[in-house]
């Protein structure tokens, strides 16, 4: 055998030892069919922070006046949580900002906090941000400014382009107002501050303060029992205003382990200034309030959305909630963000406790790869009617981007399962619709009153 033939044989043998790269499922007709089906679903977004149009944050001063810019979109995204973003210059000129900002993205090209925004630039503006030129960036900035002169752009992007019918709005900046600023908006009650409200000084603003609300209503707050009466009054107002669920973000402030404590122990912190209360006594108050709110959640049929994972990392593992979940079987718990990075723990909690739903809100934005794996793992251990989604952003482009990122991630996860023979295609299509819409309608039956608001023109709070 000649040397050339020997060499060729060796190369063939070595090549056979290398792993064979599977075809990208996103290039297949199967993926295209599943993605098209998921795209067609009139989605119900279970979590966003969209303010009234004139109050959307990160507007800046430009030569044409105050408005939204390319900087505004990136500043209002999750990108700056980890990566640098040059501030908008005092002079208000785009070129000054872009000269510094254009290189900010160099080390973030693979990051989900960067990549989730790309579909918005691609689909809404026809720009590939990975290869954007200075001229394209300047034009993009001008288009963004023009689009935000009125709210028609936002309505078009949310309801038509993102194909969202209803959106839960967590207005943490005005927790007790329950306003509906858009026809597609659904209000909820954010209970974060009332859980810790042992004293008026625990509230950072009067608009959030239960003590201020009690004063206006002529209610007493002398004792813990009085405070609980005020809390119940808030729940009644929330239900009357159409609130659909509860939401807590205490994972940003403290551990998610809530012990069952007595009212007498909780009362030790009540009415005392924060400087006079030990951390142990304040925790006891908050633990008591959490269990009390769990009971009210069941009483008023308001499922309880809880931020888990990726917050104050020490203490945000959803496993810490299991004693409260088990102790409140009538409460419907919705574990947000899939418990990232503890997606496996979140899955087994939902597997073992039928009063638990998993919400994948924000998860694809945090880590696309982990989100795809989470969908596949959860569907192996949790009924498909107990998984939800949400966008969790603050402006039209972010909402579109996060929605598209989620649809793509879910379609890819389902297509891979079908391709491996682990799922029938018709079942995959049904699961996609469940996660994007049907599961929310099932968990939150009060949503029925909001359906069709866009077509009828009704439903907005004046």
Instruction: Please name each of the domains of the chain with its CATH number.
Output: 59-147 (no CATH), 160-456 (3.20.20.140)
Strands 246-248 and 189-190 turn out to be parallel
Burial class (CB in 10 A: 0-12, 13-18, 19+), 275: exposed
Integer CA distances (angstroms), 128 to 140, 156, 298, in order? 11, 21, 48
The tens-digit pLDDT sequence of the chain (462 residues) is 454 454 544 444 444 444 434 579 999 999 999 999 999 999 999 999 999 999 999 999 999 999 999 999 999 999 999 999 999 999 789 999 999 999 999 999 999 999 999 999 999 999 999 999 999 999 999 999 999 999 999 999 999 999 999 999 999 999 999 999 999 999 999 999 999 999 999 999 988 999 999 999 999 999 999 999 999 999 999 999 999 999 999 999 999 999 999 999 999 999 999 999 999 999 999 999 999 999 999 999 999 999 999 999 999 999 999 999 999 999 999 999 999 999 999 999 999 999 999 999 999 999 999 999 999 999 999 999 999 999 999 999 999 999 999 999 999 999 999 999 999 999 999 999 999 999 999 999 999 999 987 665 444 443
Burial letters 170-192, b for 16+ CB under 10 A, else e: bbeeebbebebbbbbbbbbbbbb
Q: What does the alpha-carbon distance between residue 315 and residue 250 come to, in Å, rounded to a whole number?
A: 10
Q: What does the alpha-carbon distance between residue 240 and residue 461 come to, in Å, rounded to a whole number?
A: 12
Strands 60-62 and 65-67 turn out to be antiparallel
Q: Are 379 and 434 contacting, i.e. CB atoms less than 8 angstroms apart?
A: no
Q: How many CB atoms sit inside 10 A of residue 217's CB?
A: 11
- Reading the block at residue 364, the tokens are 């694809």
Q: What does the alpha-carbon distance between residue 251 and residue 236 come to, in Å, rounded to a whole number?
A: 26
pLDDT of residue 454: 63
Find the radius of gyration of the CA atoms of the chain: 25
Q: What does the alpha-carbon distance between residue 58 and residue 205 come to, in Å, rounded to a whole number?
A: 21
pLDDT of residue 7: 52
Tell me the torsion sign for CA atoms 109, 366, 362, 293: negative
């Amino acid at each position: 055998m000649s040397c050339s033939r020997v060499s060729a044989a060796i190369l063939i043998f070595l090549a056979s030892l290398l792993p064979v790269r599977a075809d990208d499922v996103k290039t297949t007709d199967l993926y295209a069919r599943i993605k098209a089906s998921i795209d067609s679903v009139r989605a119900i977004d279970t979590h966003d922070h969209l303010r009234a149009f004139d109050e959307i944050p990160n507007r800046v001063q430009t030569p044409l006046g105050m408005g939204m810019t390319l900087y505004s979109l990136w500043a209002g995204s999750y990108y700056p949580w980890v990566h640098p973003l040059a501030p908008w210059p005092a002079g208000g000129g785009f070129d000054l900002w872009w000269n510094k900002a254009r290189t900010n993205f160099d080390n973030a090209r693979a990051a989900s906090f960067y990549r989730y925004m790309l579909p918005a630039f691609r689909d809404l503006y026809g720009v590939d941000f990975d290869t954007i030129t200075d001229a394209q960036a300047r034009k993009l900035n001008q288009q963004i400014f023009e689009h935000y002169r009125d709210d028609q752009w936002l309505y078009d992007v949310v309801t038509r382009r993102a194909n969202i019918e209803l959106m839960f709005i967590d207005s943490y900046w005005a927790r007790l107002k329950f306003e509906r600023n858009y026809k597609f908006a659904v209000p909820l009650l954010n209970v974060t501050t009332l859980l810790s409200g042992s004293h008026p000084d625990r509230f950072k603003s009067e608009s959030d303060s239960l003590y201020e609300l009690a004063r206006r209503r002529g209610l007493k707050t002398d004792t813990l029992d009085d405070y609980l009466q005020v809390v119940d009054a808030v729940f009644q107002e929330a239900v009357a205003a159409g609130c659909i669920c509860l939401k807590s973000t205490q994972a940003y402030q403290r551990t998610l382990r809530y012990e069952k404590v007595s009212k007498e122990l909780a009362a030790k912190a009540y009415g005392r200034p924060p400087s006079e209360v030990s951390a142990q006594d304040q925790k006891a108050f908050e633990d008591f309030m959490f269990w009390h709110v769990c009971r009210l959640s069941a009483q008023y049929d308001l499922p309880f959305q809880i931020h888990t994972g990726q917050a104050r990392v020490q203490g945000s593992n959803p496993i810490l909630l299991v004693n409260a979940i088990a102790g409140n079987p009538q409460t419907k718990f919705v574990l947000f963000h899939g418990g990232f990075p503890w997606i496996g723990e979140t899955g087994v909690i939902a597997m073992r406790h039928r009063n638990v739903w998993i919400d994948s809100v924000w998860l694809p934005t945090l880590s696309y790869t982990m989100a795809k794996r989470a969908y596949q793992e959860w569907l192996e251990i949790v009924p498909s009617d107990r998984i939800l989604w949400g966008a969790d952003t603050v402006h039209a482009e972010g909402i579109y981007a996060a929605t598209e990122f989620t649809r793509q991630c879910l379609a890819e996860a389902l297509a891979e399962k079908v391709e491996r023979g682990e799922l029938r295609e018709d079942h995959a299509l049904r699961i996609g619709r469940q996660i994007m819409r049907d599961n929310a309608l099932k968990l939150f039956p009060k949503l029925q009153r909001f359906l069709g608001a866009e077509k009828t023109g009704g439903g907005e709070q004046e």
